[in-house]
Each structure stands twice: as C-alpha cells, then as structure tokens.
Structure 1
C-alpha cells in the first residue's frame, strides 16, 4: 500500500466526563454512535470509558477529509449533546487531513485541550466497511 497517497484518518478523542454526568454521557454517546452507524461516513467508531478516572476514549476512522466534513454536517446535534457531559482533554489526529479539516479541528477544539497531528508512516486495514441497510 502506498502510504503517501493514503487519505485515511484516525481520530482519537480523550474526554473528561463531568462529575455526576456519567449516565448522561453514556446515553448521549450511545445515541451519537447509533446515528453514526446508520448515517455517518465513518468506517469505524469505538468508544471506551474508564469510570475510575472518569475518562472516555473515542476512536473514529475516516476514508478521507471529505468524510470528516460530511460527519460534521450530519452529526453536530449529537456532538453538542455529548459535550454537555464532558470536555475534551486531548484530541489526536493520525494521518494528514487537508488544510480545511485541520483548521476545523483546531477551531472546534479551541483552548479546550491538547491537539496533535501525526502523519502516517505505514499501515493497512484488513476490514471492509459494513454494508448499509
């Protein structure tokens, strides 16, 4: 696989859940992921919760920057609902988004948490996107 031409993006979002909001966070995440599974462009979404430390980790895999833009347009109400229950501590972008998406990530994060971009060196994907119903 040629890595320079690969447009795949992996986002890792580490969120600090607000005290007393764990159940609200869980409910909002469940609704957001269900919506993404049915309507979103993501190839993969996985969210994990560390209740002891009140942290959540969300991983989202996108085919390219256009898919990220589509996600933003479709999912904004769900994102806003999740953010009522947490704040972003760290947002990591793996891969090289286009300038528009990179600026959008910076703007959305603001001063909320740390942001890093890590360009790809090499990799592959073994699974195909699930067919949509």
Structure 2
C-alpha cells in the first residue's frame, strides 16, 4: 500500500541544542521572537520548542510540507536563526522524512560540520490538525 501523496514529502526536523551557560533567558527570548516570526510568516505546519533546564538542552521540532517549505524558511528566518544561535550550539539534528537532494546536502554541509545529522526515512503516518492553533 502506498502512502498518500500529501504526506510523502512531509519533513519533521528535531534540533537538539546545548544552551550556553548563563544564556538561558537570552536563549528563551530569542526563541520566542523567532517562533513568533515563523508563526506569522513561515511555511512550517508546526513549531514546538522545549527546554530541559537541568541539562541545559533545548529541543526544537519543526514540521514542513516539503523541501520547498524548508528553503523558504531558511530565506525568511535567517536573522532569527542567527540570533538564537548566539546562545546555543546544535548538538544533534535529526531529519524524519526524505528531503530532496539540495536540502539534504545543505543540511550535511551546514549543520553537519558542527554535529551529527541523521536522516530517518518515512514509512507511514498522517497529520491531523485542529482548526485553531494554540500559541
């Protein structure tokens, strides 16, 4: 049985970041600004960020419709990404789904210079969203 074409291109990114000592509040402020910008202007279907203050790790999840949406996000959000990165470093980056060759290479050559980038091919699934998103 083949997966539905609308979900074949879905990409879920899980970014694990180490927050710099003494930067927790600045990191939080930068992430809030970045996510608010993306909520209003970005192509993501979902963005959620969680912070483990005991380990000083942050976990960001971003769901994209396809590789084109990833490219759009990179163009729009670059200043916000740079601001967040002033307060952390990426420890691990997991890609769930199969981006096109250009996005995959950009991830390997960009983030992959700093940390492991792991690709996990999709088997099956679905996406269900409520009509009203929460803040």
TM class by shorter chain equals: over 0.9
Give the deviation of 1:128 after TM superposition: 6.1
Long gaps (5+) in structure 2 = none
Structure-to-structure mapping, 1:1-133, within 5 angstroms: 2-3=2-3, 5=5, 6-127=8-129
SS at match of 2:113: coil
In structure 1, how many angstroms separate the alpha carbons of the residues matched to 2:97 and 2:22? Answer: 35
- Alignment RMSD: 1.7
SS at match of 2:44: coil
In structure 1, how many angstroms separate the alpha carbons of the residues matched to 2:2 and 2:65? Answer: 15
Give the deviation of 1:50 after TM superposition: 0.2
Give the deviation of 1:66 after TM superposition: 0.2
Give the deviation of 1:108 after TM superposition: 1.9
In the alignment of these two chains, the number of paired residues is 131
Long gaps (5+) in structure 1 = none
SS at match of 1:35: helix
Give the deviation of 1:101 after TM superposition: 0.4
